[in-house]
Amino acid sequence: MSRTTKQIVYGAIYLSIFLGIFASIYFTYLKPPVTCFDSIQNQNEEGVDCGGSCAKVCTPATIAPITAVGNVMTFATSPHHVTFLVRITNTNFDFAAKSFDYRFDLSDASGAIIQSVSGTSFIYAGEAKYLIVPNQEISSSVENVVVAISNPVWAKSSDFGAAPQFVFHSIKTEPISSSTIRVSGTITDNDVSAFDKITVIALFKNSNGMLVGTSQTELDQVIPNEAYDFSVLYPTAQSINPAATEVTAYAMRAL
């Protein structure tokens, strides 16, 4: 074996040893740990940083956004106070949103946003529901209100469950003073689950069936097959038809 050949062979051996040592150090000490936020499909992920041991659910590219049905409705409740109501829908039957952000933007006659009201909510697969901001104080005249929905955290409907079933009894709408009307009754949780909080929404209508006002109340620690009294108050309006009042309720399942 020539001197040059020996140098090449020894060089290859030393390089292999060096690379082995470097690889050992890299994989032991330097390689970033595998996470659900590294933009790589690894560990047992079903997609990039989703599924498997990652909390984020893998969703198809064609998943439909949560959208508003119609325009935001506004109801004056007192001087400089307004209630906002909008109906939203989730047309995905395989995915629920266990949380999402919403924002009501209030603009003046020029189109400039003068105030925003934000919050978070949830929606079941295939569900349509109301978002309500009751008795919000406003600083100036509002010409238009739009709602924006963002940052949905999707969950498979099989994991999140179906919308719970509530039954209402003995609904009664009556004035309790010259300035206040009350909706009262009982609600029963016909679901197998208990709920930490149930939001009951009352929708007030006129004789033509048009919405003329809305308000809400909350009930805590509701268990199955028990009836709970509720009461929702709203400023008296001459156009309200007590017989046309509608009530609905929403509650999120514990995950």
- 67-159 and 166-250 in the same fold: yes
Note the pLDDT of residue 157: 93
* Of 254, 252, 250, nearest in space to 132 by CA: 250
pLDDT for 205-227, tens place per residue?
A: 999 999 999 999 999 999 999 99
pLDDT for 75-97, tens place per residue?
A: 988 888 899 999 999 999 999 99
Q: Which residues of the chain have pLDDT under 70?
A: 1-32, 255
Residue boundaries of the structural domains of the chain:
67-159, 166-250
From residue 250, give the alpha-carbon distance in Å to each of 41, 122, 135, 172: 37, 9, 19, 20
Q: Sign of dihedral through CA atoms 164, 168, 173, 179? A: negative
Query: Into which CATH architecture does domain 166-250 fall?
Result: Sandwich (2.60)
What is the reported pTM?
Answer: 0.81
- Residue corresponding to tokens 């990039």: 48
Query: Into which CATH architecture does domain 67-159 fall?
Result: Sandwich (2.60)
* Of 183, 152, 153, nearest in space to 168 by CA: 183
